[in-house]
Structure 1
Amino acid sequence: MKTRAVRLYGKNDLRLESFELPPITDDEVLVSVIVDSMCMSSLKLVNQGENHKKTPPDLKNNPIVIGHECCGDILQVGKNWQHKFKKGQKYVIQANLQLTNSPYCVGYSYPNTGGCATYMIVNHDVLQQDCLIPYDGKTYFEGALIEPLSCVIGAFNASYHLKPNSYDHIMGIKPNGELLILGGTGPMGMLAIDYALGGAIKPKKVVVTGRNKEKIAHLKTLYQSHNGVELEFVDISESADQLSLLKIKSSKNCFDDIFIFLPSKELIHLASQLLAFDGCLNFFAGPQDKNFEAEINFYDVHYNFTHIVGTSGGNTDDMRLAVKLIESGKVEVAKIVSHIMGIDQASDITQRQDKIRGGKKLVYTHKQFALKSLESLTDSSDDVALKKILNKSHNIWSKEAEDFVLNNFPDIES
């Protein structure tokens, strides 16, 4: 079967190409990708090329297909997996394979297994790790946002605190504690807000910082205090003393859990100063600089039992929980979608996504159309129709909007 896919040939060398997929083996599954959600990690991958720890050598002669936040339909199942999967099922993929003695992952390492494609082969590594997961949601785009949600769930699960008078760890954020999310107005921070409000362990208060007044005002319309959790947004753009500003946002002048969503030395130092006794600092933002360092208060590490953790992706259990949360509607990931595009735009936008303001950018892989911001649609007939649909959902991406794109926008040429 012929596929159209975005392939990486080396540092800053992305190409949209058409090529023939080999017939699947008994240990593989052939799928159609309907939506691939663009991740900032793919920009890091492109910038680093063969220097990235998850890429194989010799990308020039053996390119890989990028994209790891995808959803679509199963088309053909190899003999060894027909007991588990069926043609016509929707699926999602846990990209973070955690293979023994290998860093390889979906969207970083394989010639035929990546989400920014019309069709791909789900290979033996994915199936053996139980990382192809059936999904029964109503939309494809929400399925494509399950992987980023699983990363947030993994971070919340990796945070920990101590049982009183012991060294035993209690995993997760502190129940009924106070949670600070620094730099949390981007799409991943938004998922963290949603999960903090709707997850199993609920804090008493969540404080979210940002620097963009318009974005903060917009988030206040999307997220309110909920399920007994008090939510507050703080604009730090004009504050000369962020430490004092944030201390007064807590009932005890410090926070039990702090998540950092920007790779900033200043934010790490700030977080270190705001940790409560037995507080946990969770560094979520992955820096591109392998020598990234920051100042942390080790007096508090020693005497106040503060902790520092970090995660890179979730695991399969996190992914399965994300599937349940989205299928049940307990977490509303549609709020983070800001742009849509056809696969013909994916190479360019992947490399410029950090310059484009907004949230998540969806690639409809079988379609060919220019990048569209949901906030600034044009007067074209298709955009006018989309505007009418989005007005029903307060400009939040929806099943009706997705169906319109799938049924009416032009298909990518083979």
Structure 2
Amino acid sequence: METKAVRLYGVNDVRLETFELPEIKDDEILVKVVSDSICMSSYKTIIQGANHKRVPDNVHENPIILGHEFAGDIIKVGKKWQDQFKPGQKFAQQPALNYKGSLASPGYSYPYFGGDCTYCIIPQEVMELGCLMVYEGDSYYSASLGEPMSCVIGGFNANYHTNKRNYDHEMGIKEGGYLLILGGTGPMGLGAIDYAGALEKKPKMVVVTDISQDRLDRAKKVLPETKMKEKGIELVYFNPNDYDDDEQALMDLTNGHGYDDVFVYVPVKDLAEQGNRLLAFDGCLNVFAGPTDKNFLANINLYDVHYTSTHIMGTTGGNNDDLIEALDLASKGLINPSLMITHIGGLNSAGETTKNLPNIPGGKKLIYTHIELPLTAIEDFKALGQDNELFKALDLLCEKYNGLWNKEAEHYLLNYFNV
């Protein structure tokens, strides 16, 4: 089977190449990748190359396929797994494998297994760990975005609270509490706001900060305060630049109580320290955004740790249960992964997009691997549609959904390119 893939050879050495996949073994599965959403973690992989803890030391000789937020169709199943999987089924996959202590993961470690390709081979450890899942939904992008949503869900599930009566830890964010998301109008932050509204045990207030008014304005458009109010949550979008003392203003929103749960969605020292200062009694600070600096340090108030039971943790990725929950909520319409997506492109644009990801504004960049299309912002569809029938049609379909990507637009795009 021939495949076309974006492969990493070393630091900033990314190539789009066509090559032959080997015949699958009895314990492997061949899949057709249809969509892959690009993660900031892939950018970090490119700038670190073999220095990345998940990338093989010999990547310059045996390149790996980039991308780990992908979905598609099962094409061929090895004998070992034919009782569980069938050709033609849609699949989603959890890339956080942790197989027998190995850090190997798709998008970082495998020569034939990753998301930025047309076809790839899923190795046996993925099925053994239950990380390959049949997806019953009617869009591929929702399955791709199940992985980043599982990271959001994992963060919420991993937060915890204590009490003075015993040593039990109550897992999850505090019900009826104050939730603060610092730097929270990027794609993951929007996913977190949306997920908070889908919880049975909801916070009573969610405060989301960002210093970009453009990002705040988009967040208000796609996730308005009124929508969250209907779900019993007071949502507050907060620009620190609007206040002489933004920290005091944030504290005032809680009437001096502080925040029971704080998520730091941008790896910035000042934000982490501010989040620590804003914690309520027994407050939990989750350093969610992954830094690239191994010596990333910030000051914490140990007096509060001792006397007011504040605690600090971090999460990276989600587990199988988190992914199953993400896919289930999306299929039921209880969360909307489209909130994350701001750009669409083909495989030809995946490499350069990943290399330049921090410099491209907006949210998630969604790649359809069997088409050729320059990376294009959804907000630019209207202007491009004046001279291009494809973008004209996509603009009309997105406008039906408040300017968001959707299954109708995906179906039209894939049919247009005969995928």
TM-score, with structure 1 as normaliser? 0.97
Q: 1:237 aligned to 2:241?
A: yes
Of 314, 319, 323, which aligns to 1:315?
A: 319
Per-residue CA deviations over 1:298-319 (Å, capped at 9, x if unaligned) read: 1111111111111110011111
- Paired-residue identity, %: 48
Task: Say if 1:212 and 1:237, in contact at 8 Å, map to a contact too.
Answer: no
Partner of residue 168, structure 1: 168
Note closer, same or farther for the CA distance 1:291–1:38 as it changes in structure 2 (3 Å cut): same
Aligned residue in 2 for 1:385: 393
Counterparts of 2:8 and 2:254, CA distance in 1: 46
TM-superposed CA distance for 1:21, in Å, is 0.6
How big is each residue's C-alpha offset from its partner over 1:204-257, in whole Å with a ceiling of 9 and x where there is no partner? 110000111122122112223242111111111343422112111113340000
Residues 3-402 of structure 1 mapped to structure 2, 5 A cutoff: 3-223=3-223, 224=225, 225=228, 226-377=230-381, 378=384, 379=386, 380-402=388-410
Once the 2 structures are TM-superposed, how far is the Cα of residue 68 of structure 1 from its aligned partner? 0.5
- Counterpart residue type for residue 282 of structure 1: N
Select between 153-162 and 214-223 the one with higher mean Cα deviation.
214-223
Task: State the alpha-carbon separation in 1 of the partners of residues 52 and 241 from structure 2.
Answer: 33
Q: CA deviation at 1:115?
A: 0.7
Aligned-residue offset at 1:83: 1.1
- Contact (CA 8 Å) 1:283, 1:311: kept in 2 or not? yes
Conserved in 1, the CA contact under 8 Å of 2:282 and 2:309?
yes
Q: Secondary structure at the match of 2:157?
A: helix
Unaligned runs of 5+ in 2: none
Aligned residues: 411
Distance in 1 between residues matched to 2:64 and 2:318, nearest whole Å: 22
8 Å CA contact 2:142–2:327 kept in 1: the answer is no
- Counterparts of 1:368 and 1:134 in 2: how far apart (Å)? 27
Q: CA RMSD in A?
A: 1.2
5+ unaligned residues in a row in structure 1: which ranges?
none
Q: What secondary structure, in the 3-state scheme, does the structure 2 residue paired with 1:288 have?
A: coil
Equivalent of 2:411 in 395, 403, 406:
403
Query: TM-score, normalised on structure 2?
Result: 0.96
Distance in 2 (alpha carbons) for counterparts of 1:256 and 1:387? 41
- Which segment drifts farther, 242-251 or 27-36? 242-251
The answer on whether the counterparts of 1:255 and 1:275 sit within 8 Å (CA) in structure 2 is yes
Q: Contact 1:368–1:410 at 8 Å: present in 2 too?
A: no
> Matches of 2:241 and 2:83 in 1, distance apart?
55
Q: Aligned with 1:314: secondary structure?
A: coil
Contact 2:222–2:402, Cα closer than 8 Å, also in 1: no
1:384 shift after superposition: 1.3
- Distance, in Å, in 1 between the alignment partners of 2:331 and 2:396 is 26
SS of residue matched to 2:3: strand
Alpha-carbon separation, structure 2, partners of 1:400 and 1:52: 38
Contact map agreement 2:149 2:326 (CA 8 A) in 1: yes
